[in-house]
Structure 1
């Protein structure tokens, strides 16, 4: 397993999983932070372009079989396609096998649900998008309402924009704070949002209600919870 003593000149080997309906920023934030220090494998079931939930397409550079067996970091983004990805046998098999060998098993947003469905978050503290915290419990994880959660070799980030915080936190953990702070300055990450509505704790009730409606989170949560309950012996 990696730790802070890893040779700082050695590139991290990072596998980032692509699937139909992933959210671009879930992926691009961490990729932007980590790429300078890493060899990045964008992994999918084939080398065909993968369409994100915003319609933009991403081109994998390796398939499941071509991905290194021993990754330093396995990373899973979230997105509208997560509910389907959670029951994709090939994807779950890949995530489980690579996750068992990876130095760090990680996610941003609802990517944590894929890790959970693969059995990789049971007994771990973890975070995900605020609308999905209760679902993590059904898989035996301990949801924590934080931007980034590190529990042993599991590192999870909150919703979408938390991907940059996630990337910087992971980089600091593996390469030290100087490397992370330098990267933060290089990408000029100095957030100053125009509204204080970026979390349920800060947003007005009417904003939360509309966000829930647009996310369709309540209906999808029920699908996942019912599916998991049926799977229990």
Structure 2
């Protein structure tokens, strides 16, 4: 089973490593780390990860995972090769997935037109402008597409995907293996539960979503 993790400069590392940790250890998983060019890829936090191949090296993966980025607007403008690959690879994939603002790249590739999808709460309006029906759920499954909300939701998405690939018992075993039983010290993990003043503070740190939205299609 070919699982392709799409990589690009400015991506958020946990968007990649969260679902990767859930999926990559399964014996059926043949994992590919793809970018426009092989080599180091610098994430938005400064960490570097390594792409071992190009998008063209795996034209028809079984599973596609697209991480998001705090620099999502730049990604929408610059990641033309990734968007073009998504448009070509998605029709033959069993599952196409995204984490956080990675859903905007799926939408740019025309994959989310008429579908329900989720994303980071700060760019829900942008995702809607790109043709998706926006949900506030943490993980959304619509046909052969699975989208996750912000950053840490990629772990949840990985478990949902693992259950569909290998069965619920296997997904539960993976959850136990990674000891994923979150007990956050605060109840500020989404805009519905965070105090209004905290929401305003974080919203000011996010890239502005106003303005023109790039058209869909590669």
Would the TM-score normalized by the shorter structure come out above 0.5?
yes
Could you tell me which runs of 5 or more consecutive residues in structure 1 were left unpaired when the two chains were aligned.
1-11
Deviation at 1:152, TM superposition (A): 0.5
Q: Does 1:19 align with 2:8?
A: yes
Deviation at 1:135, TM superposition (A): 1.3
Q: Does 1:142 align with 2:130?
A: no
CA contact (8 A) 2:3 2:61 kept: yes
Structure 2 equivalent of residue 7 of structure 1: none
CA contact (8 A) 1:86 1:117 kept: yes
Deviation at 1:209, TM superposition (A): 0.5
CA contact (8 A) 1:19 1:81 kept: no
Where do 1:155-170 residues align within 5 Å? 155-170=146-161
Structure 2 equivalent of residue 194 of structure 1: 185
CA contact (8 A) 1:20 1:81 kept: no
Deviation at 1:62, TM superposition (A): 0.8
Q: Distance in 1 between matches of 2:72 and 2:42?
A: 13
Q: Distance in 2 between matches of 1:84 and 1:129?
A: 16
Q: Distance in 2 between matches of 1:147 and 1:113?
A: 16
Q: Distance in 1 between matches of 2:81 and 2:154?
A: 25
1:177-214 deviation digits (Å, cap 9, x = unpaired): 10000000000001000000001110000110011111
Select which of 61, 69, 74 maps to 1:71. 61
Q: Distance in 1 between matches of 2:81 and 2:165?
A: 30
Select which of 25, 34, 37 maps to 2:23. 34
Runs of 4+ aligned residues of structure 1 deviating over 4 Å after TM superposition are none
Where do 1:36-51 residues align within 5 Å? 36-37=25-26, 38-51=29-42
Deviation at 1:127, TM superposition (A): 0.4
Structure 2 equivalent of residue 209 of structure 1: 200
Could you tell me which runs of 5 or more consecutive residues in structure 2 were left unpaired when the two chains were aligned.
none
Structure 2 equivalent of residue 184 of structure 1: 175
Select which of 185, 202, 210 maps to 1:222. 210
Structure 2 equivalent of residue 86 of structure 1: 76
Question: What is the Cα-based RMSD across aligned positions, in Å?
Answer: 1.5
CA contact (8 A) 1:172 1:179 kept: yes
CA contact (8 A) 1:85 1:91 kept: no
Q: Distance in 1 between matches of 2:76 and 2:88?
A: 15
